[in-house]
Structure 1
Amino acid sequence: MRKITLKLLTKLPTKFVTNGLALIIILFIYGVVGSYFIMGLNLVDSIYYAIITMTTVGYGDYTPDTGIQKIFATTLALAGVALLAYVFNILLTNFQERMSKYSKGARTMTKINDMDDYYILCGCGRVGSVVFEELRQRNQNVIVIEKNKEICENIEENDSVVTIPKDATEDDLIAKLAGDKCNSVIISTGDDVSNLFIVLTIRETNPDAWIVTRASKLENISRLKKAGADKIVSPEVIGGKDLYFESTRPHVLRLTVKHGLDELLDEFKIITKHGCTLETIDYHMPGIETPLSRDIKTMDLEEGKKYVNYLNSHPKAKTALENLYKSVNNIHSHSISGPDKPTFDRLIKDLEKQEEIIGKNLTNKEIAEITRKNS
């Protein structure tokens, strides 16, 4: 019962304090007027009698004699006690609430100072909650800044998770936190204006901070980039890509092949000859399941020629790519999209004449086993 009462009191609006003070003034006026007309006192004595009766001091120097006087004194005393108790209770509750907030804020800053490094997550809605789960699964230290107090209350805090229930745009707290110990600031609110303001606030005092932000609208990506965001992620773009790849899944082929850098252009000629698009290239480190991926997304032969010419005219870039091929023992996978299965069959036949095909539509785990044996 005590906890329920305290919870209700701490949620009382501050307007109740103002209303209580207003009622005390009204009661005081009632006491003065009643004392003047009912008790028959002069103005000064009426003020005096109203105060000592409202506060239940009652020195006894003025005693009500008639019935109406006794009723007046009783109502004034009871109303005074009730109102004064109400106002003082509200004031005390507000004071306790403020002290509690101050104490919690101090404990929060102590926990943050004890963290060796951390991620800052601004906004923990639909997108932010997914990011939070990814960070928590990897046992990362996370500071969640979320203006929705209910969301913060639903997050279980521990030594590696701290919640700050406030709007990140209201002050420069986030700029202070995004210092040397901050690995990255992830801004995932659904409002691009707020995201832009947060980016500017951080970048103003932390030029080296790594900032990743969400962009709800495509037209705001360039603005966020100019403001200082290092990476901008658009759920619209990601969702569109996922929809596209899911819709083309029956017409996407993953070929795991083995060849050197010299066969690069010939391979690309065969892919474009069949009207297919080279979507990605995955380089498989020996025995490691997760590959190193590159987005290509082209079916233009001229782009392939330009890239080969670039490598031939830039020895350092060519050497770096050659070293990458050597580190993966020339084993890599191509994700190729095409019109239909017969086209893929013809494509595979032509590629087999050019290079070694290890397999098609293999999983990363299967490829890791192959590369482990070949290493």
Structure 2
Amino acid sequence: MKKITVKLLKTLPTRYVTNGIILILALFIYGIVGSYLIMGLNLIDSIYYAVITMATVGYGDYTPHTGIQKIFATTLALGGVALLAYVFNIILTNFQEKMSEYSKGAMKMRAIENMDDYYILCGYGRVGKVVFEELTRRNQNIILFEKDEEILESIEENDSVVVIHKDATEDDLISKLAGEKCRSVIISTGDDVTNLFIVLSIRESNPDAWIVSRASKEENYSRLRKAGADKIVSPELIGGKDLYYESTRPHILKITVRHTVDEIYDEFKIISKYGCTLENIQYHIPGIETPLTRKINTMDIKDGKQFRDYLEKNVEQKEAIENLYSLVNNTHSHIISGPDRATFIKLVDELKKHEEILGINLSKKEVTEITRKNIK
């Protein structure tokens, strides 16, 4: 506790300390000059009288007699009391603020320690907000670094979201957090120099960290790559959502399968069982390289049940889906995001028991070769 108290006192704002010293010196000079000219004391006694009067000690060895002497002694004593109260209030207020910040910081670190894994997001601007929303929608744990306090007021912290009001370029905390539990570091500030500095800081102490950085200018791609960024994204070209997709690239699975409409719900149950998110479905028309893509973006089993019930109640819609499946010969690909590769292995093993799997992470050309065989 003693070390913490000393550390907090050392962090007093410089301007407050400077103002306090200037006021003390001004009052001290006033006391010395007044004691010399008004009280008629010599220099040594003037210094002595100024000190004891400012401190309101008053030993009584020098007593003011005339009216001007009494006014001088009164103003000097009141000035000393007011100055002591001012300085004490500054120290106490700042100490309380720093103690509060320290307490909040300790709570944030405990929340981070309780997370199994998390994403680190640097910057909550126009692009960072989109990435934050994408991560939140998928129930991911997030540690957000943002130096603008006004921006942070709109963000509600909880067990899955920890907000750190610090400049990532001036603090080494981000490098400490970008360890084994960190899935990805997403750097989304609008300044390429800032992004470059953050990449260098993280890569220096975390050679295995997965780092995705925003780049506002194309000419900075190579600099960020050399600094250690695994992926460089220009949101101006492809949008903020791709920052999320790139950050999860090690945990994105494309699985090409063949099954009927009646097996959709069984497949969805398996995907949901392993905590994975079905991002979208690609329907492969025989002989055509570019697939028809349908965005899904869900991991909730309730969504699967609602879709199943909807098809059961709406025969025409079910027939439309069956016609689509017939067009692609029941061949399509699922883009699935998940927590890790080990989960994907279990997911694929279970899917193999229920449907025909044609391939994993196949390229467009490989899928096209498969579908060409279905052309009559």
2:285, 2:291 within 8 Å by CA — same for their partners in 1? no
| Partners of 1:238 and 1:162 in 2: CA distance | 27
1:367 counterpart residue number: none
In the TM superposition, residue 231 of structure 1 has moved relative to its aligned partner by 1.6
**Paired residue total:** 268
1:283, 1:292 within 8 Å by CA — same for their partners in 2? no
| Matching residue's letter, 2:60 | G
In the TM superposition, residue 318 of structure 1 has moved relative to its aligned partner by 12
| Partners of 1:148 and 1:135 in 2: CA distance | 21
TM-score by length of 2: 0.63
> Do structure 1's residue 104 and structure 2's residue 104 form an aligned pair?
yes
| Partners of 1:24 and 1:121 in 2: CA distance | 46
What CA deviation, in whole Å up to 9, does each residue of 1:155-200 have, x standing for no partner? 1111111111111111322111111100111100001111112112
What CA deviation, in whole Å up to 9, does each residue of 1:29-60 have, x standing for no partner? 11112112211222222222111211222222
The residue correspondences of 1:83-162 to structure 2 (distance < 5 A) are: 83-162=83-162
> Do structure 1's residue 281 and structure 2's residue 291 form an aligned pair?
yes
Q: Cα RMSD between the aligned structures?
A: 3.6
Kindly tell me: are residues 159 and 319 of structure 1, through their superposed partners in 2, closer, same or farther at Cα, counting changes over 3 Å? closer
In the TM superposition, residue 24 of structure 1 has moved relative to its aligned partner by 1.2
The residue correspondences of 1:1-375 to structure 2 (distance < 5 A) are: 14-238=14-238, 258-259=285-286, 264=287, 280-282=290-292, 291-292=334-335, 330=371, 355=375
| Partners of 1:289 and 1:355 in 2: CA distance | 15
| Partners of 2:291 and 2:78 in 1: CA distance | 84
What CA deviation, in whole Å up to 9, does each residue of 1:341-368 have, x standing for no partner? xxxxxxxxxxxxx948xxxxxxxxxxxx
In the TM superposition, residue 83 of structure 1 has moved relative to its aligned partner by 1.4
2:186, 2:212 within 8 Å by CA — same for their partners in 1? yes
Kindly tell me: are residues 120 and 319 of structure 1, through their superposed partners in 2, closer, same or farther at Cα, counting changes over 3 Å? closer
| Partners of 2:124 and 2:101 in 1: CA distance | 21
1:192, 1:216 within 8 Å by CA — same for their partners in 2? yes
Stretches of structure 1 that go unaligned for 5 or more consecutive residues are: 1-11, 240-254, 268-277, 294-316, 332-353, 357-375
In the TM superposition, residue 111 of structure 1 has moved relative to its aligned partner by 1.2
In the TM superposition, residue 319 of structure 1 has moved relative to its aligned partner by 12
| Matching residue's letter, 2:56 | T
| Partners of 1:291 and 1:319 in 2: CA distance | 10
In the TM superposition, residue 13 of structure 1 has moved relative to its aligned partner by 5.7
Kindly tell me: are residues 290 and 51 of structure 1, through their superposed partners in 2, closer, same or farther at Cα, counting changes over 3 Å? farther
Stretches of structure 2 that go unaligned for 5 or more consecutive residues are: 1-11, 240-281, 295-323, 337-358
Larger CA Rg, structure 1 vs 2: 1
2:120, 2:185 within 8 Å by CA — same for their partners in 1? yes
| Partners of 1:318 and 1:133 in 2: CA distance | 29
In the TM superposition, residue 87 of structure 1 has moved relative to its aligned partner by 1.4
1:282, 1:291 within 8 Å by CA — same for their partners in 2? no
| Partners of 1:205 and 1:47 in 2: CA distance | 57
| Partners of 1:59 and 1:319 in 2: CA distance | 90
1:199, 1:229 within 8 Å by CA — same for their partners in 2? yes
TM-score by length of 1: 0.63
Secondary structure of the 2:291 match is strand
